[in-house]
Structure 1
Amino acid sequence: VFGFDMKQQFYNPKSRSGNRWWYSYSDEEKDFDFLKDKIKMTFDTMYGERYPGASNRKPKLYKVEGVGILEEGNWETAYRAYMNIDELLKLKEDYEKRNNPDEGSNRKRKNTEVGYQQAKVKVNDIKNVIDVQDQIRATGLNAYSMAESLEQANKTQAVMQGVLGGIGAISLLVAAIGIANTMIMAIYERTKEIGIMKVIGARLKDIRRLFLYESSMIGFIGGVLGVGFSYGISHFLNTVGVQFLSGSIGMGGTKLSIVPAWLAVLGMVFSAFIGLVSGFLPARKATKLSALSAIQTE
Structure 2
Amino acid sequence: MTILVIGATGRVGRHVVDQLVQRNAAVRVLTRDPSKVVFPAGVEVAEGEILDLDALRRAFEGVRTLFLLNAVTGDEFAQAIITLNVAREAGVERVVYLSVFDADRAVNVPHFAVKSGAERMLVQMGFSATILRPSYFIDNEVMIKDVILGHGVYPMPIGSKGLAMVDARDIAEVAAIELIRRDQAAGKLPIETINLVGPDTLTGPQVAAIWSDVLGRPIAYGGDDPSGFEANMATFMPKWTAYEMRLMAERYVSEGMIPKAGDVERLTTLLGRPLHSYRAFAEGIAADAAKA
Q: In proportion to residue count, which structure has more strand? A: 2
* Range of TM-score over shorter length: under 0.3
Q: In proportion to residue count, which structure has more helix? A: 1
Larger Rg: 1
